[in-house]
Amino acid sequence: MSRHDTITRGCWILVGLFPIGVALWLMILLVGQGIPSLSWSFLLDEPVHAGRAGGIAPMLVSTTALLGLALLTAAPLALPLAVWHRTVTDKRARNRHDALIDTLAAVPSICWGLAGYVLLVRGAGFGFSLLAGGLTLGAMILPTLVRLWSDALADLPDGQVEAGRALGLTPFQQALHIWLPASAGSLLIGMLAALARAAAETAALLFTSGYASRMPASVFDSGRALSVHILDLAMNVPGGDQAAAGSALVLLTAVLLFAALLRPKHHSTRKVSL
């Protein structure tokens, strides 16, 4: 490595660290501003004065309920799709599937919100409710979940797929008895990553689960997700910054904990350096 190369390398690494640096700046800022408002009562109390004081308990409950509903919606659809994706030999069908899933994944989230409003809040008569929000969120994360689960199953050695076939099991039996146990870990990670995406979502929830900051009593009640709460505090509540920072810190911590589990798909192994 000549000096000339070392300088080039150093420059690119420095420039390349810059955007990561800004992301770290965001995290440090949030920790700095958010820590003071964190306490048990912040997590366990209801908000007071439009959220300026009190806690975020109803939002945590609503968010959890929304995530649970989204998972209940998406998982039963995503799992068979992922299993099918692993077994199907018809390449054209698989490409078509990939294309559809990618297209769905690229739909702007606010459009899911609009569709949820039209079809669920109004069409099905659920009103602003956790149920409408959860279903919308479920549809929105379906492509992500299918992708992540297909990737998880793709790591299974072909031998196992062949073996299952040789035993005369149907794809679904194979999935149940052989693959799911074998790749339970990566399926779980995939699920958490999809949930992280759901928890980060705001736009799709504005018109489906609504703003109500009361503790929801059932899935037919409107419930304010944590992300919506942050938006409201930051935009509409003068003096809400402190609580917004605290809520954002909670959300960020949860989301990043989930996301940090995800392993990058490709790793350089013994490649010649550039």
Partner 1 sequence: MRRQSPLLVPAGLLLALVVALFDPHALPIAPALAGERWLPARSLFGIARFVSATFAVAGGALVLALPAALASALATHLWPRHGGVTLRRLTLVAGAIPSVVWGFWGLAALAPLLSRWHPPGQGLLAATIVLALMIWPTMALALDAALERIPDSRRLAALSLGMTLGQRLRLVVMPSLRHAATGAALLGLTRAMGETMAVLMVSGNVGDWPTGPFASIRTVTANLALEFAYAQGAHRDALLLSGLMLIVTTTLLFWWGRRLVTNQ
Partner 2 sequence: MSGSTAGVVEIDSLSLWYGEQPAFRDLNLSLARGSVTVLVGPSGCGKSSLLRAITRLHEAIPETRAEGTVYLNGIDHRQFAAHELRRRVALIAQQPDPLPFSIRRNLEVVLRVRKEAKRTWPERIRDVLQRVRLWDEVHDRLDQPAEALSGGQQQRLCIARALLHRPEVLLLDEPTASLDPDATEHIEVLIRELAPRRAILLVTHDMAQARRLADQLAFCWPEKGCGRLIECGPAADILQTPQHAQTRAWLAQPDT
Residues that bind partner 2 (CB under 8 A): 1-5, 270-273
Helix 241-260 × helix 3-34 angle, to 10°: 130
DSSP state of 53: E
- Reported as type and span, the H/E element at residue 36 is none
Range 153-192, binding partner 1 (CB under 8 A) = none
CA 199 – CA 258 distance, rounded (Å): 10
119 is a contact residue toward partner 1 (CB under 8 A): yes
Name which of 125 and 159 has its Cβ closer to partner 1.
125
Name which of 159 and 271 has its Cβ closer to partner 1.
271
Range 61-80, binding partner 1 (CB under 8 A) = 77, 80
Binding-site partner at residue 91 among partner 2, partner 1, none, CB < 5 to 8 Å by type? none
From the list 79, 135, 219, 230, which residue makes contact with partner 1 (rule: CB under 8 A)? 230
Amino acid 86 reads R
CA 246 – CA 33 distance, rounded (Å): 7
Q: Which long-range contacts (CB under 8 A, 24 or more apart) does 34-38 make?
A: 34/245, 34/246, 34/247, 34/248, 34/249, 34/250, 35/249, 36/242, 36/246, 37/242, 37/243, 37/245, 37/246, 38/246, 38/249, 38/250
Amino acid 18 reads F
Site mask, partner 1, residues 82-111, x = CB under 8 A? --x---x-x--x--xx-xxxxxx-xxxxxx
Residue 10 CB, shortest distance to partner 2, in Å, is 16
Residue 60 CB, shortest distance to partner 1, in Å, is 15
Residue 3 CB, shortest distance to partner 2, in Å, is 8
Collapsed DSSP state (helix, strand, coil) of residue 56 = coil
31 is a contact residue toward partner 1 (CB under 8 A): no
Binding-site partner at residue 264 among partner 2, partner 1, none, CB < 5 to 8 Å by type? partner 1
Kindly compute the dihedral angle of the four CA atoms of residues 106, 225, 243, 230, in this order, to the nearest 10 degrees: 30
Name which of 67 and 251 has its Cβ closer to partner 1.
251
Site mask, partner 1, residues 127-156, x = CB under 8 A? ------------x--xx--x----------
From the list 59, 75, 79, 115, which residue makes contact with partner 1 (rule: CB under 8 A)? 115
Residue 272 CB, shortest distance to partner 2, in Å, is 5
CA 85 – CA 165 distance, rounded (Å): 15
Residue 219 in contact with residue 134, Cβ under 8 Å?
Answer: yes
Helix 130-154 × helix 91-105 angle, to 10°: 140
Name which of 2 and 89 has its Cβ closer to partner 2.
2
From the list 47, 62, 71, 117, which residue makes contact with partner 1 (rule: CB under 8 A)? 117
From the list 61, 156, 189, 234, which residue makes contact with partner 1 (rule: CB under 8 A)? 234
Binding-site partner at residue 267 among partner 2, partner 1, none, CB < 5 to 8 Å by type? partner 1
